[in-house]
Amino acid sequence: MTATVPLPTRPEGGAATASPHVEVVVPVHEEEGALAGSIHRLHRFLSTSFLVRLAVGGQVWRFALVGAASTLAYAVLYLALRTPLGAQAANALALAATAVANTAANRRLTFGVRGRDGLGRHHAAGLFVFALGLLLTGCAVALLHAAAPGATHAAELAVLLIASAAATALRYVALRFWVFARAG
């Protein structure tokens, strides 16, 4: 039996399409009909799966690269501001400083939006998403201080980075399906 599997692709700035095909040759005997059905279901899943289309299109990877750069900048700013300002203020300022650059970079690099059209709306929505991230990270550091009042700066940063990972997942979903939904 031969099964042809379309690979989802996403041309730069375009919609996802199923173009190049990979031919998978699987020997199937009469008594192996269940295997053929399983292959067919796998083919259907791979060709329609939203996550596969995003990953193949590179959008998730571009988002991850922008996020990694933002996280590094956030960590450096947090550590620089932590001693003079305290944990909550350092978290808020470091997040605010990186949020605007993160939204601008994701707007252009991840979602391919260029020009001024929608710029104000995108940054206003990005500010709302920033507020959600600030709420998550602020609660995380408050819980840490309640549980371990003498926590080190390194422990605070570790907790904040874990909370930031949750905020990042929320940020991607919000940016992809709300802020830049019309761009994709």
Q: Which domain holds residue 21?
A: 2-56
Q: 159-163: long-range contacts at Cβ-Cβ below 8 A with a sequence spacing of 24 or more? A: 160/78, 160/91, 161/71, 161/75, 163/136, 163/137, 163/139
Do 41 and 101 share a domain, yes or no? Answer: no
Does the reported pTM lie above 0.75?
no
For the chain, how many structural domains are there in total?
Answer: 2
Q: What is the pLDDT of residues 155-184, one digit of tens each?
A: 998 998 899 888 888 878 887 787 777 655
pLDDT of residue 117: 83
pLDDT of residue 34: 62
Do 65 and 153 share a domain, yes or no? Answer: yes
